Structure 1
Amino acid sequence: MFPTAIESERLSYEPLHESIDALDLYEYHRTGEMDEVMRPLGDKPHATPKETFDELTKSREAWDSSERASYAIRQKSDDEFVGVSELWFEWEKRKLSFGTWIREPFWGRGYSAERAGAMLYVALELLDLELVSVGHEPENEQSKRAIEKYVDTYGGQYDGIMRNALPPGDFGGPRDLLTYTISQEQWRESVTDDELNTIQVSR
């Protein structure tokens, strides 16, 4: 169902469950690097390798059932692991929601926007969905800035705040969610040929 290899200008994307070992992924949690990454998502870093292994298992099962696609993001220049991009599908609504987390050493490089462009192509062109939704918690200013930038780039819009939209996380809840959407029509009117020429996909 999903592409197994995607490339954008500086990044590549492969199925998370196939492209990284549980112990390697757990290492980022164990060193404390993930503390600042996970907190805005309402979660704590994994406490054991088994927790990381279980998450990768869930990613594989969701991929196989076409419910969710999780991609490992890497730099094309050196194959360094950057983070994770996830797509959650609502096929009956012809809609998906997506999100990402990026390792702190790679913040501020525009990778979130580049990843959004590649995933919008997959969702709205290859999979012919009608709508992509993205959101952030009210206090997450970093995500707010990143999302607003690429939503504006692709002609999308801010839709509003959904109260108690997110289940309780490790730091309490339920939690509110500010939501934005980009339609297929808005994306087609806004995306440039130059950007499309940087995206390559294989199955």
Structure 2
Amino acid sequence: MLETERLHLRKWREEDAASMFLYAKDPDVGPAAGWPPHKSVEESLNIIRTVFQGKECYAICEKGKDEAIGAIELKLNGHTDVTDREDECELGYWLGKPFWGRGYMPEAARELIRRGFEDLGMQKIWCCYYDGNEKSKRVQEKVGFVYDHTCKDVEVPLLHEVRTDHRNVMTREHWEEITFRKMRRWKQELGKEECVEILKNEPRGVLSVLGENGYPYGIPMDHWYDEKEGKLYFHGAKTGHKIDAIAKNDKVSYCVFDQGYRKEGEWALNIRSVVVFGKMRVVEDAEKIAEICTNISRKFTDDETYTVRELASSGKAVCCLELTPEHMTGKLVNEA
């Protein structure tokens, strides 16, 4: 199940047939999206059984209620004619008319777009609307889709019609731009290679999580950046404020900065810093834990005997964490 501020998105169930029919029988709902109004609960039940069983097809429900008031889906390769790529999909949706005008559809769409890029690894998400469907067009504009092309004389088999189809797209790069704030002083921005260099070379930074009662909680941490996987790894205690916070909300940020340098004749340091945004998880695999602890230890000492001894005596008490970056930004700052 997926959640937003006001909604939860769950899998369709056969007992949703009555509520689906209640909203899908409205002639203002289906035809705009290319399908006829439902004529009976039995027809709605058949749609649930045959159409709404996609891996990423969800019923839209208001929080605190379980009634299905609409549908939203990421149509994966093989279930859409917009793309044949495994790393691309199509977003489709509809909402019962009594719930129009509340901002529910953009809210649900943003969550499914997030899932597509963050959880499913999509590089592009497509979304289409038929000529004249201004409501769908506005939803797509609100969440950040960009016009790509128009297809004319598109067959709409369920209505025995031919229509003009407008196709919009959102790339992963564009989603990151509109999701994560762009740097204000762009001339000071560091490139990705320079950010990676800092993560590789520096041994520690500050990990920030969402703590108790909504307060941010920052803690200094040692880290190892695995360049091959593009992930950050940490070690620490198995219990505590940090672990509790991550269990409740796995979204974190991690800030690292270098030692800085001075230009000749100047007192102020020039410092490069990197902030990584991403999701954190606890590492369970024993071999991976040993690899993480070994590489973190090597950032501080060349004494392999010490590393082996510490792993043998304390390895079972260590909790290792894996941070998968979703966005990374770096900048050069002069302290003057």
TM-score after normalising by structure 1: 0.77
Give, as a single letter, the amino acid of the residue that structure 2 aligns with 1:49: V
Post-superposition offset of 1:161: 0.5
Residue segments in structure 1 that go unaligned for 5+ positions in a row: 198-203
Task: Report if the CA contact (8 A) 1:82-1:103 is conserved.
Answer: yes
In the alignment, the residues of structure 2 paired with residue 28 and residue 180 of structure 1 have an alpha-carbon distance, to the nearest angstrom, of: 26
Aligned residues: 178
Q: Does 1:57 align with 2:49?
A: yes
2:19–2:69 Cα contact (<8 Å) kept: no
TM-score normalised by L of structure 2: 0.48
For residues 105 and 169 of structure 1, the distance between their equivalents in structure 2, rounded to whole angstroms, comes to 24
Which residue identity is paired with 1:9?
E
Q: CA deviation at 1:46?
A: 1.4
Whole-Å separation in 2 of the counterparts to 1:166 and 1:119: 27
The within-5 A match list for 1:1-203 is 5-17=1-13, 20-29=15-24, 32=25, 34-59=26-51, 62-63=53-54, 66=55, 69-90=56-77, 93=85, 94-151=87-144, 156-170=145-159, 172-192=160-180
Checking the alignment, whether the CA contact within 8 Å between 1:70 and 1:87 is kept in structure 2 is: yes
Q: Which amino acid aligns with 1:46?
A: H
Q: Deviations over 1:74-128 (max 9, x none)?
A: 1114444331102211275111101111111111111111111101111111000
Judged with a 3 Å threshold, the aligned counterparts in structure 2 of structure 1 residues 135 and 106 are, in CA distance, closer, same or farther, namely same
1:162 Cα deviation from its structure 2 partner? 1.3
Q: Which digits, 9 at most, give the CA deviation of each residue in 1:36-59, with x for residues without a partner?
A: 111212322112333212111113
Q: Are the counterparts in 1 of residues 16 and 68 from structure 2 also a CA contact under 8 Å? A: no
Which stretches in structure 2 are left out of the alignment for 5+ residues?
Answer: 79-83, 182-249, 252-336
SS at match of 2:28: helix
- CA distance in structure 2 between the aligned counterparts of 1:43 and 1:90, rounded to whole angstroms: 21
Counterparts of 2:91 and 2:37, CA distance in 1 = 21
Q: After the TM superposition, which segments of 4 or more aligned residues of structure 1 sit over 4 Å from their partners?
A: none
> Which of structures 1 and 2 has the larger relative contact order (alpha carbons within 8 angstroms, sep 6+)?
1
Deviation (angstroms), 1:130 = 0.7
In 1: Cα distance, 2:17 partner to 2:95 partner:
17
The residue matched to 1:129 in structure 2 has which SS? coil
Specify the SS of the correspondent of 2:132: coil
CA distance in 1: counterparts of 2:13 and 2:163, whole angstroms: 28
Residue 174 of structure 1, CA deviation: 2.5
- Equivalent AA in structure 1 for residue 35 of structure 2: D
The code of the aligned residue for 1:179 comes to R
Contact 1:132 1:183 in 2 (8 A): yes
Aligned residues of 2:69 and 2:96 also touching (Cα < 8 A): yes
SS of the equivalent of 2:148 reads: strand
- Deviation (angstroms), 1:166: 4.3
For 1:201, the equivalent position in structure 2 comes to none
Secondary structure at the counterpart of residue 47 of structure 1: coil
1:148 CA drift (Å): 1.5
